[in-house]
Amino acid sequence: MNQKTTIQIFCSINPSEDPDKVKTAVNNIFPDVELETSDTEISGKTNNFSVLSQISKSIHEKNVKNTYQRILKKNNDGESTWFYLNKQAAFVNTVALCSEANESSLGPIKIILRSNNIEQVIDSVTN
């Protein structure tokens, strides 16, 4: 990637959840992102595109390139795009894409990608 890409990660913490377990789930998928934790949310931000390596690996292993491309293109506003990952799956070190937020019963992990060339970012993530 030769242009600047910002990757933001958000994950809500429900009152019934252990914040440490939610943080573990996010860290399992994004081990190199420094996370901030509040009472209700975990968030992180990085410009290091390599933090998406587990997601790219999962895309190829599960042969879900078209699904990711469809979701990333649908959510593309010209400067950014986003997708959801299943929080419970992340807790057990599995990357599982959610089409809708309610597919993850405790709420998803939301990943926002921002770039001046978002189409190239989408191609880089999915290829």
| Average pLDDT score over the chain | 93
- CA-based nearest residue to 33, from 49, 17, 22: 49
Distance, first Cα to last Cα, the chain: 13
* pLDDT average, residue stretch 61-68: 93
Token output for 54:
């587990």
Query: Is the separation of the CB atoms in 34 and 24 below 8 Å?
Result: no
CA distance 73 to 127: 14
pLDDT reading at 5 higher than 50: yes
Query: Is the separation of the CB atoms in 86 and 103 below 8 Å?
Result: yes
Residue 3 banded pLDDT, cuts 50, 70, 90: low
Which domains does the chain show, CATH number per domain? Answer: 5-126 (3.30.1440.10)
4-13, 80-89, 97-106, range with the lowest pLDDT: 97-106
Q: 3-class SS at 123?
A: helix
Query: Is the separation of the CB atoms in 82 and 73 below 8 Å?
Result: no
